[in-house]
Structure 1
Amino acid sequence: MTSWKTFAFWVLLLNFSALFPAPAQNANGGKKRIVVLGDSITAGYGLDPQEAYPALLQKKIDAAGLPYTVANAGVSGDTTAGGLRRIDWALGKDGAEVLVVALGGNDGLRGIKPGQTEENLAGIIDKARAKTPEMKVLVAAMQMPDNMGAEFTGKFKELFPKVAKDKKAELVPFLLDGVGGVESLNQDDRIHPNVEGQKKVADNIWKVLEPILKAEEKVP
Structure 2
Amino acid sequence: MQQILFFGDSLTAGYGLRNTAAESFPALIGQKITDEKLNYSIINAGLSGDTSAGGLRRIDYWLSQPISIFVLELGINDIIRGIAPQTTLNNLQAIIDKVKAKYPGVKFALMGMQIPAFINATAAKQFGDIYTTLANNNQMALVPFFLDGVAGKPHLNLPDKLHPSAEGYKIIAANVWPVIQKLISNN
TM-score range, shorter chain: over 0.9
Match of 1:152 in 2: 123
The TM-score, its normalising length taken from structure 1, stands at 0.82
Q: Give the Å deviation of 1:215.
A: 2.4
**Pairing of 1:1-220 with structure 2 (within 5 A):** 31-47=1-17, 48-49=19-20, 50-92=22-64, 94-216=65-187
Deviations along 1:102-158, one digit per CA (max 9) or x if unpaired, are 001101111211111111111111001111001101111001133430000011011
Q: Give the Å deviation of 1:36.
A: 0.3
Higher Cα radius of gyration: 1
Higher relative contact order (CA 8 A, sep 6+): 2
SS at match of 1:146: coil
Moved over 4 A (4+): none
Contact 1:32 1:96 in 2 (8 A): yes
In the alignment, structure 2 segments of 5+ residues that lack a partner are none
Aligned partners of 1:139, 1:181: CA distance in 2, in Å? Answer: 22
AA aligned opposite 1:197: G
SS at match of 2:186: helix
Aligned partners of 2:98, 2:130: CA distance in 1, in Å? Answer: 19
SS at match of 2:161: coil
| Residue-pair matches, total | 185
AA aligned opposite 1:79: T
